[in-house]
Every structure is written in structure tokens, then in C-alpha cells.
A and B are shown apart, each in its own frame.
Chain A
Amino acid sequence: MKKYVVGAAVTLVYIAYSFGIRNNHSKPVIAPTLPTKTNNQQASTGGGSSTQSTGSSTASSGSASAPSNQTKAAAYKDGSYTGPVVNVYYGNVQVAATVSGGKITGVKFLQYPHDNPNSTYINSQARPYLKQETLAAQSAHVNIITGATFTSEGFIQSLTSALSKAN
């Protein structure tokens, strides 16, 4: 029982924390990820992974990271970055990203497994492929809920650990 009380307290602290961050509109604190020009961070997961090579002289690939809890400043240099052709088992995908003002400002699919013949600029040409609506609350009953996880494992565990030290 005590465990649940601690868990609830941790969750509440966490939610308060997350809203605090959310309200801080002017400071994005997570670094966007995209292929960078450095070659030295190639992931080598498991034994014998091969380094992905790129067919382009402008960029290498594979050094981007999945969403990270690390707080880092964005440090992308402006320019265009072309990734390698990636076989995603239903076809090839190749993406080019444009960085301007340190931010990703466009992602372009050079190859796309669907039927569009040329490239798709997400910023504009994606319009026919995607739909948009304004969020609206639904009253429907549901069996299961999915959503951005408020109980981030890493955060909860490290906070729990920190709190236990504080006791």
C-alpha cells in the first residue's frame, strides 16, 4: 500500500513537472534528431552491425537518436542533409531534411514506397495525403486508453530513486 502512495505522489509531482515544462513555450529543450554530418556516432547495436553508408556526399546517416530524455541544446547546422536509401521491406525510403535557423524546416522524401512518382515535400505537397481537424472532446465510452505517457519510466524511476535518497 505504501508503494502505491509513493507511486501516486511521484506521479503527481511528475504531472506538475510536466505542466511546468509545457507552459514554457519559448524553450524547446529536446534536441531534434536527424542525420548529421558526423560519422563517429554510428550505432553498433548487437554484434556486428554494419555502418550504414550514404550515397550522398552531404551527409551520413544513423546517428540520430530516438526520443531522448536528455536535455540538450539544439545544435544543428543549417543546410540540406540527404539520408541513405533505406529498405523498409515494403520498398525504399529516402529522406532529405532541411535545417534552417537551427531547426528542421522541411523533410523531403526522395523515395517513397507509395505511388507518388517524385518527391513529397511535407510542408506543402503532403497536403493531399494527410487530413487535418481541430481536436474535440468525445463522449464515447472506451475500453482502453492510449496517449502520451505521463508515467515515463525513466523519469519515475530516477525520481523515485532521488526521493528515496532524500528520505
Chain B
Amino acid sequence: MKESLLDILCCPLDKHDLGLEGAEHDDEEVIAGTLVCSECGEEYPIEDGIPNLLPPDMREETPA
């Protein structure tokens, strides 16, 4: 993901801003790291350059 995506994203639970922690960059893209809600502290992983912003209760719900 591009770092500028942070200006568009928010926490899916409480809609507060997200901070980027432990970022690993590849050229202009963030390929790994964690997005953390500034309000509730919920963490959202960035995997292979794709932020996973599913609410925690939906993350495990993975059909085959």
C-alpha cells in the first residue's frame, strides 16, 4: 500500500485515525507492518502490501 492511503483509511470499529507501526518499505510501497487505531488500539496487519482492515470478528471467517 502507498503511505498516502492512511489519509483515506480509518478504524472500521470507531472510525478514528490509524497509525503505521513497524513498516517495511519496498520502493514507495509499504509491504508489511501494522496499522493501529489511535483511539481503541486495535491492530490491523499489512500482509504482502495489502492492509487487512476487516473487523477482528470477521478475520477468522475464512471459507475454504
The answer to whether A binds B is no
Interface residues of B (CB under 8 A from A): none
Interface residues of A (CB under 8 A from B): none
